[in-house]
Each structure stands twice: as structure tokens, then as C-alpha cells.
Amino acid sequence: MRSYHKTKPLMYALVAVLTIWFIDSLMAGTGDPEAAKQAWPMIQSGVLVIDVRSKEEFAEGHLDGAINIEWDQTDALLAAIGSDRQREVVLYCRSGNRSGKSITELKSRGYTHLFNATGLEALQATKPAD
């Protein structure tokens, strides 16, 4: 009986950690719905949309009209955007992490009108009705 009372707090802590981990892993792929909502007016106005996920992820599904350039292919991103450093561009990936890294690199090169729409799932879930 004694050992049960000693391990009870540890069991509660373990359950809490596992619960947080489980919820976090479920949310990891969705992105930020608020950022996604903000991206839609830009997307609908015809800005350049770049999906920075892998070719395999892109093949599994993507936004209509998006082009696929992997996040770490900076030269290809620069070529797609062109020399206009103020061109509006929306970037997305699975969760916003890779698109954020791409944006950081592009901003370091002087590009200013870049928007992280975070994840594809968030974009799909917040797409306005046609």
C-alpha cells in the first residue's frame, strides 16, 4: 500500500504529460486558423501562393493555384517571386514552421510582403464559401 501512495503523484504527472503530448501532436499539423483566415483575402486577390512542403506532401493535396517549392530551396523561391521585393506572397506548409523559416530567409534578402498562412489544414478549414 505504501508504494502505491508514493507512485500516485508520479502517475498523475505521467498522465498529464501524455495528455498534453497527445493533444499537441493532434494540433501540430493543423496550423493557425486565424492566420489562415487572414490569408484568404490575399489568396483570393490572386497573390502568388507557395506551398513549401515536400513534393510528396504536395502530391497528396494542395491549394488550387499554389506552386510547390520546398522550404529550403531559397534560390528557387527567389526565382519564383522575382526581383520585386515588395511582391505579395502567401506561403504555407503543414504547420507554419517551414513556411516561417522560408519567410525568415526571404526577409533577410529584402523581401517584405510575405505572409505565413501556416498549415494547409487550417487553410482548407477556413476557406470562404464560393
Residue 11 shares a structural domain with residue 74: no
Q: What is the reported pLDDT for 24?
A: 45
Residue 26 pLDDT > 60: no
The per-residue pLDDT for range 30-50, each reduced to its tens digit, is: 899 999 999 999 999 999 999
Query: What is the per-residue pLDDT for 30?
Result: 81
Residues 26 and 73 in one domain: no
Rounded to whole angstroms, how far apart are CA atoms 95 and 118? 5
- pLDDT tens digits along 90-115: 999 999 999 999 999 999 999 999 99
Considering the domain architecture, whether residues 13 and 42 belong to the same structural domain is answered as no
Task: Give residue for cell 520585386.
Answer: 84
Cα separation values, 20 from 13, 34, 80, Å = 11, 22, 40
Residues annotated as catalytic are 93
Confidence of residue 20 (pLDDT cuts 50, 70, 90): low
Please state the separation of Cα 12 from the chain's center in Å: 33
pLDDT tens column, 50-73 = 999 999 999 999 999 999 999 999
Residue range(s) defining the domain that contains residue 91? 33-126
